């Protein structure tokens, strides 16, 4: 017997490395018939569920039989596993899963027809009872490179701006955050990553950016996957970021965090921000219906030291609330509904050392996401999960006044040139069917599903002229925009997939999958085959995979084609005499011309358990993304104006090698350290836009978030003093990486030199802190203080890239040292 995989081999090029991976995958598949087959028709079935009756997939189950060695099993998609009892004596069962407390049951009678074990989620607020958290280990059931941060990491890592869960993401080795607070997974554009909340897409429907917020205290876990992720995650070439939120149980729980404002040392000690958070949960009907509410509010005092006094701040207000209900209509019918609401107001949005207060905009964003999900369990272990969600965004900005908008070599001044309101919506439906495990040359867990969505976007905009001034204040270039009518865009998407988790033998797992996608803009069938495998000899896990990943159709590119004509006039040095007639520029797209961007992604990974309970690993990833959307000037590469046509003319290359180690001590104390070397490059480094953007011939270069070298570490430990270690904890994070690249331009915004040829200084952030645990009025609290950027490294976020300015190459807006404090309720002290 053999396994034939020609469907995947066709995707490979002839490079020796890819042949090696295919060979490895093939060899992993071949030995099936020589291994011992798994026992079929097992008479004893055990189901793992959480405190709300939801199946727990991937839990490690240890069966302890009197006088015999332990048997280790893993639960399937329906939370079930089966085993053959070897004797009639009472059994002991232990269940573990990261993010849950360990569960143990003794005296189990295996003659019962329905065995069940309950795993309790780790809680931010917990009673002081004898519970032990599950210890993270090597997950041989996970082919992808998934890195999960559960409640301990979310609570303890002192990530900057801990009010915002997005700031936790860069403490995964493969994730980088840029100056606009957007994250880039495995060297990809922000919109190339699929971001989900409880299984629903939370990216901006038009921009594709991660703009929806949820309270950090409401998040139970965050999964990040950059390669070998399953086919259920479609239309994303960059990776997957999945947020999973909490739910109430049979206890009423209340938590309040961050009632102490933070301070920052920039030109003296200044008020920084105030970010209180609340969560409240409990039963509506015990053992059947529960609720959860997570509220966060924020007030930011953004101070820019480089701007004039009395015009150097922005007072930002925002908040979010997540409300959820779960009702177990029957033991086999679980209904969950949620509503996430966001509100954002910034009176001087975009203020910086290069943008005066007057040149910012008054920006308001309102977004909400209602969703409902129903899960049905059937006899024999089948499970059907169906969900529907509707996301709506309203994002608008308006200028301050009507003064002419001017871009000088040093700063933007006057009133912003654009008044814009955009409204977008995504209606999303998903259905997934998990079939009962089947035994044939091993065990098969098959899932299949469909997902449908409709995206709509409409925009109103008014644009005024933009003046580009020389260093002497005289006009160099003027851009005038023709009136543009309001417009609307729509797209419908459909996807279907099937995947088989094939446990060939105890130490060998193969996961083939196939996905089909289609949308009404590109109108081409997209077939995405993927294959991953895990070989896990004692104490070691070797993973390999290759797959074809298609991207979703990014509406923002098509929105730019409705901007109308831009007229650019260049002037003599006197600033009054035109060099020639106005040059016309227009951005266009043609039906039937485009293909969907796609990435060929292959990777290798190894994990091993070393002495002293140390978990170590290494990962290699190569990703080649082709057919990426970009505008190409049809008048010629050297022309600055003309018809910019949307094409598939861009290709991105990303390679990375990463090593890491993690040590988990007693009471969940943890240290994590990693090093990554990577390269993120493109052959279209200039992004052309109808609005102000660099001009010049297209060229290759690094992507703006390219960070070739990065060292990352974080952790929390007891203070190593005998009298203090039970009440004081030391927390820290350390991040050091190569500075981001930037491109030089002249006063008219024309590119000078090679794109991305200069870089920001190296980024260094060391943030240590202490947490004091104390009792007060029958409750147990934690008071934490953190010195962010304790070394006071500059870490600037802005650079003057205009070569005509005397300030060219000057970096500004240093991060500065900040002191943040947090008080949180840990639990009852009774």
Looking at residue 779, what is its pLDDT? 80
Q: What is the mean pLDDT of residues 82-88?
A: 79
User: Residue 60 pairs with which residues in a beta bridge?
Assistant: 74, 96
Q: What is the mean pLDDT of residues 148-158?
A: 91
Euclidean distance between CA atoms 458 and 605, whole angstroms: 44
Residue 7 has pLDDT above 50, yes or no: no
Secondary structure (3-state) at 9: helix
Residue 824 has pLDDT above 90, yes or no: no
Digit-coded pLDDT (tens) for 42-65: 468 889 999 999 999 989 999 888
Digit-coded pLDDT (tens) for 712-736: 999 999 987 766 656 899 999 999 9
Q: What is the mean pLDDT of residues 366-392?
A: 95
Q: Report residue 473 as tokens.
A: 């204040």
Q: How distant, in Å, are the alpha carbons of 171, 258, 670, 676, 738 from that of 679? A: 18, 38, 29, 10, 11
Residue 125 has pLDDT above 80, yes or no: no
Looking at residue 750, what is its pLDDT? 95
Looking at residue 828, what is its pLDDT? 56
Q: What is the mean pLDDT of residues 512-540?
A: 96
Looking at residue 269, what is its pLDDT? 83
Q: Which of 211, 242, 214, 212 is nearest to 226 (CA)?
A: 242
Residue 137 has pLDDT above 80, yes or no: no
Q: What is the mean pLDDT of residues 83-88?
A: 78
Q: 89 or 582, which is more confident?
A: 582
Looking at residue 25, what is its pLDDT? 44
What is the pLDDT confidence band of residue 4, given thresholds at 50, 70 and 90?
very low
Residue 9 has pLDDT above 80, yes or no: no
User: Residue 42 pairs with which residues in a beta bridge?
Assistant: none
Digit-coded pLDDT (tens) for 195-218: 999 999 999 999 999 989 999 999
Looking at residue 450, what is its pLDDT? 98
Residue 178 has pLDDT above 60, yes or no: yes
Residue 175 has pLDDT above 80, yes or no: yes
Burial degree of 110 (CB within 10 A; 0-12, 13-18, 19+)? buried
Cα Rg of the chain (Å, integer): 28
End-to-end CA distance of the chain: 62
Looking at residue 159, what is its pLDDT? 86
What global pTM score does this model have?
A: 0.91
Is residue 550 within 8 Å of 525, Cβ to Cβ?
no
Q: What is the mean pLDDT of residues 480-501?
A: 96
Q: What is the mean pLDDT of residues 163-170?
A: 86
Q: Which of 593, 654, 653 is nearest to 619 (CA)?
A: 654
Q: What is the DSSP string of 336-374?
A: EEEEEEEEEEEEEET-BTTB-GGGSEEEEEEEEEEEEEE
Looking at residue 829, what is its pLDDT? 43
Q: Report residue 494 as tokens.
A: 């459909």
Lowest mean pLDDT among 27-41, 135-149, 423-437, 757-771: 27-41
Euclidean distance between CA atoms 136 and 133, whole angstroms: 9
Residue 675 has pLDDT above 80, yes or no: yes
Residue 111 has pLDDT above 80, yes or no: no
Lowest mean pLDDT among 401-405, 434-438, 566-570: 434-438
Lowest mean pLDDT among 28-37, 67-76, 359-368: 28-37
Looking at residue 680, what is its pLDDT? 98
Looking at residue 323, what is its pLDDT? 98
What is the pLDDT confidence band of residue 819, given thresholds at 50, 70 and 90?
confident
User: Residue 346 pairs with which residues in a beta bridge?
Assistant: 363
Is residue 585 within 8 Å of 565, Cβ to Cβ?
yes
Q: Identify each DSSP E strand in 400-486 by its residue range.
A: 405-407, 412-413, 418-434, 438-439, 443-463, 466-469, 475-481
Euclidean distance between CA atoms 260 and 783, whole angstroms: 10
Residue 252 has pLDDT above 50, yes or no: yes
Q: What is the DSSP string of 682-715?
A: ES------SSS--BS----EE-TT--SEEEEEEE
Q: What is the DSSP string of 205-272?
A: TTT-------BGGGEEEEEEE-SS--TTS-S-SSEEEEEEE----SS-EEEEE--S-EEEESSSEEEE
Triad 15, 601, 493: Cα angle to 5°? 140
What is the pLDDT confidence band of residue 740, given thresholds at 50, 70 and 90?
very high
Euclidean distance between CA atoms 77 and 57, whole angstroms: 5
Q: What is the mean pLDDT of residues 411-438?
A: 96
* Chain mean position to CA 453: 20
Kindly report the average pLDDT of the chain as a whole number: 89
Euclidean distance between CA atoms 4 and 11, whole angstroms: 15
Instruction: List, as own/partner pairs, every contact residues 190-194 make where C-beta atoms lie below 8 angstroms and the sequence separation is at least 24, other chains included.
Output: 191/554, 191/556, 192/236, 192/237, 192/238, 192/239, 192/551, 192/625, 193/236, 193/238, 193/239, 193/240, 193/241, 194/233, 194/234, 194/235, 194/236, 194/238, 194/239, 194/240, 194/241
What is the pLDDT confidence band of residue 375, given thresholds at 50, 70 and 90?
very high
Q: Identify each DSSP E strand in 132-211 by its residue range.
A: 147-149, 175-177, 183-185, 193-197, 200-201
Residue 518's CB: how many other CB atoms inside 10 A?
15
Q: What is the mean pLDDT of residues 117-127?
A: 77
Residue 646 has pLDDT above 60, yes or no: yes
Residue 696 has pLDDT above 90, yes or no: yes
Provide, rounded to the nearest whole percent, the portion of the chain with pLDDT above 70. 91
Burial degree of 720 (CB within 10 A; 0-12, 13-18, 19+)? exposed
Looking at residue 822, what is its pLDDT? 85
Residue 20 has pLDDT above 50, yes or no: no
Q: 202 or 269, which is more confident?
A: 202
Residue 539 has pLDDT above 90, yes or no: no
């Amino acid at each position: 017997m053999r396994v034939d995989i020609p469907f995947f081999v066709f995707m490979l090029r002839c490079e020796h490395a890819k042949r090696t991976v295919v060979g490895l995958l093939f060899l992993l598949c071949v030995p099936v018939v020589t291994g011992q087959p798994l026992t079929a028709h097992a008479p004893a079935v055990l189901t793992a569920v959480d405190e709300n009756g939801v199946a727990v997939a991937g839990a490690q189950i240890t069966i302890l039989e009197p006088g015999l060695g332990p048997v280790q099993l893993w639960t399937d998609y329906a939370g079930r596993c089966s085993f053959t009892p070897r004797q009639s004596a009472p059994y002991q069962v232990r269940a573990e899963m990261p993010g849950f407390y360990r569960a143990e049951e003794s005296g189990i009678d295996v003659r019962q027809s329905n065995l069940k074990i309950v795993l309790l989620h780790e809680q931010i607020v917990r009673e002081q009872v004898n519970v032990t958290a599950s210890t993270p280990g090597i997950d041989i059931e996970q082919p992808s490179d998934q890195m999960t941060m559960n409640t301990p990491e979310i609570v303890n890592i002192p990530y900057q701006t801990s009010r915002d869960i997005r700031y936790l993401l860069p403490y995964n080795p493969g994730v980088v955050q840029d100056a606009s607070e957007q994250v880039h997974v495995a060297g990809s554009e922000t919109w190339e990553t699929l971001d989900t909340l409880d299984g629903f897409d939370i990216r901006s429907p038009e921009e594709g950016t991660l703009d929806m917020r949820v309270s950090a205290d409401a998040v139970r876990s965050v999964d990040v996957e950059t390669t070998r992720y399953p086919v259920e995650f479609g239309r994303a070439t960059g990776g997957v970021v999945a947020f999973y939120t909490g739910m109430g149980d049979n206890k009423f729980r209340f938590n309040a965090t961050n009632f102490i404002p933070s301070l920052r040392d920039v030109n003296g000690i200044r008020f920084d921000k105030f970010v209180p958070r609340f969560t409240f949960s409990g039963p509506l009907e015990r053992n059947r219906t529960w609720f959860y509410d997570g509220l966060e509010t924020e007030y930011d005092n953004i101070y820019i030291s480089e701007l004039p006094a009395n015009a150097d701040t922005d007072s930002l207000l925002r908040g979010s609330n997540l409300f959820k209900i779960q009702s177990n209509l029957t033991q086999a019918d679980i209904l969950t509904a949620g509503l996430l609401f966001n509100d954002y107001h910034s009176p001087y949005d975009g203020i910086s050392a290069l943008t005066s207060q007057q040149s910012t905009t008054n920006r308001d964003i309102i977004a909400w996401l209602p969703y409902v999900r129903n899960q049905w369990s059937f006899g024999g272990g089948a499970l059907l999960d169906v969900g529907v969600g509707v996301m709506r965004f309203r994002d608008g900005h308006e200028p301050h006044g009507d003064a002419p908008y001017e871009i000088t070599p040093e700063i933007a001044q006057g009133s912003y040139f654009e008044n814009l309101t955009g409204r977008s919506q995504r209606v999303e439906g998903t259905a997934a069917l998990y079939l009962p495990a089947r035994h044939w040359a091993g065990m098969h867990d098959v899932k299949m599903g469909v997902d449908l969505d409709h995206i709509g976007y409409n925009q109103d905009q008014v644009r005024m002229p933009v003046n580009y001034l020389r260093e002497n204040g005289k006009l160099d270039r003027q851009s005038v925009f023709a009136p543009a009518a309001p417009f609307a865009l729509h797209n419908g998407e459909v996807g279907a997939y099937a995947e088989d988790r094939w446990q060939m033998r105890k130490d060998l797992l193969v996961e083939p999958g196939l996905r089909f996608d289609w949308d009404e803009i590109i109108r081409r069938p997209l077939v995405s085959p993927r294959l991953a495998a895990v070989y896990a000899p004692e104490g070691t896990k070797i993973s390999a995979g290759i797959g074809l990943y298609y991207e979703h159709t990014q509406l923002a590119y098509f929105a730019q084609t409705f901007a109308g004509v831009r007229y650019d006039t260049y002037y003599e040095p006197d600033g009054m005499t035109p060099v020639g007639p106005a040059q016309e520029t227009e951005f266009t797209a043609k039906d039937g011309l485009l293909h969907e961007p796609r990435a060929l992604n292959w990777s290798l990974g190894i994990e091993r358990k070393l002495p002293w309970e140390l978990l170590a690993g290494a990962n290699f990833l190569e990703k080649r993304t082709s057919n990426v959307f970009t505008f190409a000037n049809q008048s010629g590469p050297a022309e600055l104006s003309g018809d910019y046509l949307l094409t598939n003319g861009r290709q991105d290359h990303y390679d990375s090698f990463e090593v890491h180690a993690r040590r988990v001590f007693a009471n969940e104390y943890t240290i994590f350290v990693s090093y990554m070397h990577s390269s993120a490059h493109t052959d279209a480094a200039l992004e052309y836009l109808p609005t102000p953007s660099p001009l010049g011939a297209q060229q290759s270069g690094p992507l703006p978030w390219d960070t070739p070298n990065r060292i990352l570490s974080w952790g929390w430990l007891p203070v190593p003093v005998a009298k203090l270690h039970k009440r004081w904890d030391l927390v820290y994070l350390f991040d050091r990486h190569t500075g981001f690249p930037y491109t030089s331009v002249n006063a008219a915004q024309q590119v000078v030199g090679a794109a991305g040829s200069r870089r920001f200084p190296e980024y260094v952030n060391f943030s240590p802190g202490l947490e004091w645990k104390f009792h007060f009025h029958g409750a147990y609290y934690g008071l934490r203080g953190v010195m962010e950027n304790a070394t006071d490294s500059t870490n600037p976020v802005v650079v003057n890239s205009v070569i005509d300015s005397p300030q060219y190459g000057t970096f500004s807006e240093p991060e500065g040292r900040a002191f943040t404090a947090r008080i949180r309720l840990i639990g009852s002290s009774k």
